[in-house]
Structure 1
Amino acid sequence: MDALRAALDRIGFASAEHMTWKDYEKIMRSIEPLIGGGHTLRRFDYTHTAALQPGTVERLRNDYTIPLAYTEWGSPLQPTLICLGGIANSARRFDYLARALSRRYHVLCMDWAGRGRSGWLAEQSDYSFEANVAQVLALIRHKRLERVTLLGSSLGGSVAMRVAAEAPALVDRLILNDIGPFIPTERRRRRAESVARHYVFRHPAQLFHRTGAAQKNDGPVDDTVLLHNSFHQTRWCGENCGRVYRHDIRALQCYRDGAAQDHEQWDDWHRIGCQILLVHGMMSDALLDSTIDRMMGKPRVSVLHVPDVGHTPTLSDPLHIDMLDRWLDAPQAFPAQSTVGWSGAADRILFR
């Protein structure tokens, strides 16, 4: 936060309403090396098979290849942790966590197809849950990994459960960030209505307002975290004379089309045999208390409760990262249930 204050002082900051995109870029150049420095952006060719193209007429179904992007942190000689984001997240959302854990782990954070810096799929219906599972398995094959720990936020956690259920030999441990085998329809529909739209931010203040409203339940995270996440989740679009979200809107519209019913994965859940850490945002409307109770009937499951936050804690707070590090070091010694607070109160200047 000190770096952000210094950057705001240098541009003579008066209010968010008077900030220009030029000012915004100056600020990001100041604070980004302090957060994202140390990673390498990589890509590999992912083949989207004809079997994963149900919405395409049969005569047009063919295997095709797109680049999938991921960030790499730490040494490949260390145990591998793969981080998988939510439906509209970019890989860079995990920078705080990845940077801290890269001292002891080889951390890979993937951009789903149609998000972040990955390529786009040919048809809206290609953005299926099964396609996401295939992308994770493709990354594991590409890196020639034998066993990994999967950390998944929201959609990423749902996909991680499916991978752990179908390929148990590949998954050593599982961290689920505020997601379980059941998500109620009302929550899915509300989220879909919010994200499946084309937003154009023609002034920084519009981006701050939208991000602040969307992340109102993110807990006491400060402006630096929100700036970092919103910067990597958007890009400049000359045609629209503003910043737009860095994703293919069809991917979000495909999610909306499937959000008319509950999401259930209890069959997957019962097949998972590895150690599991469940991170619970205590204000979450996606991970219900009844779901947690049912999940805890399974052995080798620990729950970490995080107060004052809703769905998917940002995992940027040092206390939260330390708890994940402790679990990774000795999951069998971790308590069945524990609660962790926050390092301090949120300091908000821009995102009010």
Structure 2
Amino acid sequence: MARKPAASVRRARRHDPDWEPPIPGRRRVLKTWDEYMALAKRVVGRFHDKFELRHFDYWHPKRLQRHSAPRFRKPYPVKIAYSDWGSPKNPTIVCCGGVANTSMRFNYLAGDLMSDFRVVCFDWVGRGLSAWMADETDYSLQTYVEQLRQMIVHLECGPVIVLGSSLGGSAAIELTAKHPALVSRLILNDIGPFIPKNRRKRRSQTLARHYVFRDPADLLRKIGASQKNDGPISDDIRFNVTFHQTKWSDEEGGRIYRHDVRALQAFKADAQESLDQWSYWDRVKCPVLLIHGMLSDALLPPTIKRMRNSHKVKVMHVPDTGHTPVLSDRNQNWFIHEWLKGRGGIGEWTVLHARQRDDPR
């Protein structure tokens, strides 16, 4: 007698007749862009009816145009794209990613939290679906802090919860210190008030370049290698991140990164020194959840210890993961949900990895 398929397999077959269960240990091999887009329709398309894609104008102020001649400085608008999940009646979480991330990196987290929270995930200027700055020197940490501030003000929903990954966490620390009335809770995804310059320089050297992916195998191989620190995630989750980081270019005859290379060049110039935000950290008074990839070279144990000595921080350690956790794991997202609901429990714990989302068992 044949063994009855698991419930998750039966549901997958019912909703998607082309679905095939993953074979453990074997990665998908995509030979053509048509095959790539067919897979995108299934993996990425599953989120399309769960959020609204919206825009607002970020106004870049004169005070942040320091390298332009004074007579040329004037505020100018830059269109910002963001995904809006869940009911606006619920508490709002604003998610902002790393230096080369797009807002769609948070799709799995937003999907897990949207029943109890409104989750807003935005693209930084020069990334994803957002427009680009007029000048390379207009890309700076101060610009990202101001963009986050204007995003929160635009939402008109009172103090919000801010979740910042990497660069997003650095911007969130400074914003919370300067504008405490805007932030009720803070989640820092593998980032603290200090990042050593050696780490910043290494990261910047892998970013500030233009590359054309001529075939899907090249794309998945190269970006997959760059995601080696994201933790034990499934091919579907890796594909979702990869798809939104790139776009098709008729001119280049392949897919290219969906960001302004000048933004990454500006980051490279800034990354020659350590980032020290301890003076801002001392002014953060709201509850903080710190997510720590245990293999991270950006958030180091001495930094965590100093953060906890000066602030009541709850720490979630994520094993087998570096900088930064994708936050697609159901167990990680459950703990985030519980902390947001005030049921955070103990002050420090290590979370076990959940079964991968495309596991049919």
TM-score (norm 2): 0.91
- Inter-partner Cα distance in structure 2 for 1:199 and 1:137: 32
1:347 positional shift:
7.8
Conserved 8 A contact 1:100-1:321: yes
Q: In 2, distance between residues paired with 1:151 and 1:31?
A: 24
1:336 counterpart (347, 352, 355): 347
Partner SS state of residue 278, structure 1: strand
- Take 2:19 and 2:248, find their aligned partners in 1: how far apart are those partners? 21
Which one-letter code corresponds to 2:206 in the other structure?
A: S
Moved more, 138-147 or 279-288: 138-147
The superposition leaves residues 202-225 of structure 1 with CA deviations (integer Å, 9 ceiling, x where unpaired) of 100011111221011221101000
Structure 1 match to 2:50: 38
| Residue 60 of structure 2: aligned partner | 48
**DSSP 3-state at the match of 1:195:** coil
Q: What is residue 159 of structure 1 aligned with on the other side?
A: 171
Q: Which residue of 1 aligns with 2:322?
A: 310
Measured after TM superposition, the shift of residue 141 of structure 1 is 1.4
**Cα deviation, residue 35, structure 1:** 3.8
Which structure 2 residues correspond to residues 45-84 of structure 1 after superposition, within 5 A?
45-84=57-96
How far is 1:142 from its partner? 1.2
Q: How does 1:103-118 map to 2 (within 5 A)?
A: 103-118=115-130
Q: Alpha-carbon deviation of 1:170?
A: 1.1
Task: Give runs of aligned pairs for residues 286-301 of structure 1, distance below 5 A.
Answer: 286-301=298-313
Judged with a 3 Å threshold, the aligned counterparts in structure 2 of structure 1 residues 261 and 7 are, in CA distance, closer, same or farther, namely farther
CA shift at 1:18, angstroms?
5.5
AA matched with 2:199: R
SS at match of 1:308: coil
Could you say which residue in structure 2 is the equivalent of 1:102?
Answer: 114
On the 8 A contact 2:329/2:356 being kept in 1, the answer is no
User: Do 2:211 and 2:256's aligned partners in 1 also have CA atoms closer than 8 Å?
Assistant: yes
Counterpart of 1:25 in structure 2 is 37
**CA deviation digits over 1:40-75, x for unaligned, max 9?**
110011111111111212221111111111100011
1:226 match: secondary structure: helix
Q: For the residues of structure 2 that align with 1:105 and 1:326, how far apart are their CA atoms?
A: 12
1:292-323 CA deviation, whole Å, 9 max, x = no partner? Answer: 01111023210000000001100001011001
The residue identity in structure 1 corresponding to 2:310 is: K
Q: CA deviation at 1:33?
A: 3.0
1:6 positional shift:
7.5
Runs of 5+ unmatched residues, structure 1: none
Q: Which residue is equivalent to 1:243?
A: 255
Q: Distance in 1 between matches of 2:271 and 2:284?
A: 25
- Conservation of the 8 A alpha-carbon contact between 1:201 and 1:243: yes
Q: Percent identity?
A: 45
Shift of 1:343: 1.3
Indicate yes or no: 2:244 matched with 1:232.
yes
1:140 aligns with 2:152: yes
Paired residue secondary structure (1:235):
strand
- Match of residue 326 from structure 1: 338
**Are the structure 2 counterparts of residues 142 and 345 from structure 1 closer, same or farther at C-alpha, using a change threshold of 3 Å?**
closer
- Aligned length, in residue pairs: 344
Instruction: Please give the root-mean-square deviation of Cα atoms over the aligned residues, in Å.
Output: 2.1
The answer (yes or no) to whether the contact 2:30–2:36 under 8 Å persists in 1 is no
Q: Which residue of 1 aligns with 2:191?
A: 179
SS in 2 for 1:116: coil
Q: Deviations over 1:227-262 (max 9, x none)?
A: 001101110011111101111010000000011010
CA–CA separation in structure 2 for the residues paired with 1:215 and 1:32: 18
Mapped partners of 2:249, 2:17: distance in 1: 28
Distance in 1 between the 2:34 and 2:255 partners?
A: 12
Distance 1:299 1:334 in 2: 17
Which residue pairs with 1:278 in the alignment? 290
For residue 228 of structure 1, give the secondary structure of its aligned residue in structure 2: helix
Distance 1:54 1:104, change over 3 A: same
Letter in 1 for 2:165: S
SS state at 1:271 partner: coil
- Residue 125 of structure 1 corresponds to which residue in structure 2? 137
1:93 correspondence with 2:84: no
Judge conservation of contact 2:208–2:268 (CA < 8 Å) in 1: yes
